[in-house]
Amino acid sequence: MRSSLNRMLVCLALLGIASAAAAPLPMQSTTTSGVTVKATPLVVAGERWEFEIVLETHSGNVGDDLVKSAILTTDDETSRPLEWRGDPPGGHHRKGVLTFRVVNPGAARVGLAIARPGEAEPRVFQWQLR
């Protein structure tokens, strides 16, 4: 009876660790010059990492070429996006997914920088992975 209880407690503890590790990373948002950029990590494991990006404004168009203007950084590497799957440039609202190839998927932290036309500093988003 006692060993069954111990096994059950170990299983519950492992499930709690797995649930905590699988918790989604939060969306981050910045607003500058009337344009809001939101970044949400979707996949940060394996060799292909994905981030949902949303650009919104009430004036002007968001015609950013995110494949050219985004940079992903981890503990020891920097990479450019492989592709953008989403809305084409233009309009007041764009949403899509940026995909990156990551050589070292065991990173402790990840950063995403998006340089926007006409802005002095890139938008920077950072998440702690472990």
Structure pTM? 0.81
For residue 76, pLDDT beyond 80: yes
Q: How confident is the model at residue 63 (pLDDT cuts 50, 70, 90)?
A: very high
Could you report the per-residue pLDDT of 94-104, keeping only the tens digit for each? 999 999 999 88
Say which CATH architecture domain 26-128 belongs to.
Sandwich (2.60)
Could you report the per-residue pLDDT of 13-34, keeping only the tens digit for each? 433 433 334 579 999 999 999 9
For residue 58, pLDDT beyond 50: yes
* Complete edge-to-edge strand list for the sheet that includes strand 78-79: 78-79, 70-74, 109-114, 123-128
Phi-psi region of 105 (alpha: psi -120 to 50; beta: other; left: phi over 0): alpha
The more confidently predicted of residues 13 and 40 is: 40
Average pLDDT estimate for 65-81: 95
Nearest Cα to 41, choosing from 28, 51, 49? Answer: 51
